[in-house]
Amino acid sequence: MSSRSDGPLYDGLVLGATLATLDGDRGYGEIADAALAWRDGRLAYVGARSDLPGAPQDLAAKVVQAGGWITPGLVDCHTHLVFAGDRAREFELRLQGASYEDIARAGGGIVSSVRATREASGAELLRQSLPRARALLGDGATTLEIKSGYGLDLENERKMLRTARAIGRELGIHVRTTYLAAHALPPEYAGRSDDYIDAVCAWMPRLHEEGLIDAVDAFCEGIGFSPAQTRRVFETARALGLPVKLHADQLSDLGGGALAAAFDGLSADHVEHTSLDSVRAMAEHGTVAVLLPGAFHVLRETKLPPLDAFREHGVAMAVATDCNPGTSPLLSLRQAMQLACSHFRLTPEEALRGATVHAARALGCADRGVLRVGAQADFVQWDIGHPAELCYWLGGRLARRVYAAGVLVEG
C-alpha cells in the first residue's frame, strides 16, 4: 500500500460477479456475488460483497456493477509473436505432404521468418506484431511472454526484444521477454553451429545490460541445437543470474525436460516426447511443463505429452499459444485452452490454471494468475455462466472487460 492517507480506500471496486480466484490447490476458488477491489495496481479486497468493510460508494473512487464471471488475467507464457511476414505458403506445402523438418532442412521454416524479420525496420516489425498482441489481449491475456529468435544476430535480436517491450508499453500490459537466439542456425553460420553458440553467449550479457532479457530459452532438437550446446547457453545465463526455459522434447526425446530441470529451469515447453526420468527431474526442481496444443494441432502430431505422469508426480502444467508463424499461428489463449482440453484431455479447470497461475509460475511471476489480496490487479470479466465455457466455445468473443494493474485496457 502507498502512503496515501486521504481519499477512498480503493481506486476501483467491481461488484456482483462470481469470482474464480484459483486461490488454493483445487477447484475454481469460486466466490458468488463477490466484490473485487484494488489500489495502486494491486488487489486490495477479494471476497463476498456482503463482507465489504463499508458502503461501496464510500470505499472506492470508481464502482462498477458486473455480472458473469471474473478470472485472473490470462497469462500467455510462450509466444513468438514478434515476427515479420507469415508462412501460409509453408502451411499449404505441409498439407501437400512436406514435413516441418523437411521444410526446415530445405531452408524454409524458421529461417524464412528470419529473412523477413531482418528486412523489417523496428517500426515495421511493431506495426505487424501489434495486432497479434492486441488479439491475445482482446481474449483476456494481460501478461505475454515474447521470445526473440527470428533475428539471430545481435542487431536483429535486439530489434525484436525492443519491439516486444514496445508492445507492452503500447497496450498497457505486462510483457516478459525471452532471449531465444539459440532457435535456429542462421545461414551465415552454416556448418558452424558451435561458433554460433559462442556468438549467442557473447550477445547475451550485452542485451541483458540493456534490460532486454527476462529469461533465456533454446530449441533443443535434432533440427535445433544439441543438449551440449543448450547447456553452454544455460551456463552463460546462470552466470548472469538469468532464469532459463527450454523448447524440450517436441519432436524427439533428447532429455530436454531433465536438462531444463538441472538448471532449475522455470519451464520445459512442448514436452510431447518427454521421458519419465525427465518428468521426475522436473517435479524435483519445480520446472513447469508448458503444453502447446496449437503446435500439436497444426503439425497434426499424435504423440501426447506424458500427462498422467505430470499429474502423478505433481508437475504443474501450463497452457500457452506458442503464437508463431510456422507451427502455431494461434491468436487466442482461450482457444489454446480449448485445444488442450480436446487434444490432451485436460479438464477445463486444469486448462484455466494452466493459462493463469501455472503460466505465471512458468514466467517466475508469483504475483499474478490468481485473485488474491496483494496480487497484480489483472483480471477479466467474462460473459459466461460457468468457467468451463472458456474452454467450450471455439472462437467468439467472451471477454467483456479486461483490466491490467487496475486499468481498463479492453472493453
- Give the interface with ligand NIG as residue ranges (CB under 6 A): 80, 109-110, 113, 219, 247, 250, 295, 322, 324-328
**Which cell numbers in the block locate residue 41?**
495496481
**103-112 burial code (b ≥16 CB/10 A, e <16):** bbeeebbbbb
* Beta carbon of residue 103, minimum distance to ligand NIG (angstroms, whole number): 9
Judged by beta carbon, residue 11 or residue 221, the one nearer ligand NIG is: 221
Return the residue of 11, 322, 350, 410 that touches Fe ion, per CB under 5 A. 322
Q: Which helix (H) or strand (E) holds 303?
A: none
Chain CA centroid to CA 181, Å: 18
Of Fe ion, ligand NIG, none, which one does residue 327 interact with (CB within 5 to 8 Å by kind)?
ligand NIG
Asked whether residue 338 is marked as a ligand-binding residue, the answer is: no
Contact window for Fe ion (CB under 5 A) among 103-111, 154-162, 315-323, 353-361: 315-323
Asked whether residue 58 is marked as a ligand-binding residue, the answer is: no
Residue 214 as a binder of Fe ion (CB under 5 A): the answer is no
Judged by beta carbon, residue 290 or residue 399, the one nearer ligand NIG is: 290
Asked whether residue 358 is marked as a ligand-binding residue, the answer is: no
* Beta carbon of residue 116, minimum distance to Fe ion (angstroms, whole number): 17
CA–CA separation, 140 vs 393, rounded Å? 14
* Beta carbon of residue 100, minimum distance to ligand NIG (angstroms, whole number): 7
Residue 76 as a binder of Fe ion (CB under 5 A): the answer is no
Closest CA to 389 of 319, 343, 317, 338: 338
* Beta carbon of residue 402, minimum distance to ligand NIG (angstroms, whole number): 26
Q: What angle do CA 187, 192, 194 make, to 5 degrees?
A: 125
Helices 154-171 and 122-138 cross at an angle (nearest 10°) of: 40
Amino acid letter, 269: D
* Beta carbon of residue 243, minimum distance to ligand NIG (angstroms, whole number): 18
Strands 34-39 and 30-31: unpaired
Judged by beta carbon, residue 78 or residue 401, the one nearer ligand NIG is: 78
CA–CA separation, 359 vs 126, rounded Å? 25
Chain CA centroid to CA 157, Å: 19
* Beta carbon of residue 294, minimum distance to ligand NIG (angstroms, whole number): 9
Strands 245-248 and 267-270: parallel
Judged by beta carbon, residue 42 or residue 94, the one nearer ligand NIG is: 94
Of Fe ion, ligand NIG, none, which one does residue 326 interact with (CB within 5 to 8 Å by kind)?
ligand NIG
* Beta carbon of residue 178, minimum distance to Fe ion (angstroms, whole number): 10
Contact window for Fe ion (CB under 5 A) among 100-108, 193-201, 317-325, 392-400: 317-325
CA–CA separation, 237 vs 243, rounded Å? 7
With a CB cutoff of 8 Å and minimum separation 6, the contacts of 389 are 382, 398
Judged by beta carbon, residue 321 or residue 381, the one nearer ligand NIG is: 321
* Beta carbon of residue 326, minimum distance to ligand NIG (angstroms, whole number): 2
Asked whether residue 128 is marked as a ligand-binding residue, the answer is: no
Cβ contact 215:363 at 8 Å? yes
Judged by beta carbon, residue 52 or residue 292, the one nearer ligand NIG is: 292
Cβ contact 113:85 at 8 Å? yes
Asked whether residue 250 is marked as a ligand-binding residue, the answer is: yes
Residue 145 as a binder of Fe ion (CB under 5 A): the answer is no
* Beta carbon of residue 183, minimum distance to ligand NIG (angstroms, whole number): 6
Asked whether residue 270 is marked as a ligand-binding residue, the answer is: no
Judged by beta carbon, residue 301 or residue 322, the one nearer Fe ion is: 322
Asked whether residue 156 is marked as a ligand-binding residue, the answer is: no
Judged by beta carbon, residue 56 or residue 149, the one nearer ligand NIG is: 149
| DSSP calls for 335-400 | HHHHHHHHHH---HHHHHHHTTHHHHHHTT-TTSSS--TTSB--EEEE--SSTTHHHHSSSS--EE
Asked whether residue 401 is marked as a ligand-binding residue, the answer is: no
Closest CA to 255 of 207, 232, 294, 222: 222
Cβ contact 84:113 at 8 Å? yes
Residue 90's SS3 state is helix
Binding-site annotation: residue ranges: 78, 80, 87, 150, 183, 247, 250, 322, 324, 326-327
Residues that bind Fe ion (CB under 5 A): 322
Binding-site annotation: residue ranges for 4-imidazolone-5-propanoate: 87, 150, 183, 250, 327
Binding-site annotation: residue ranges for N-formimidoyl-L-glutamate: 150, 324, 326
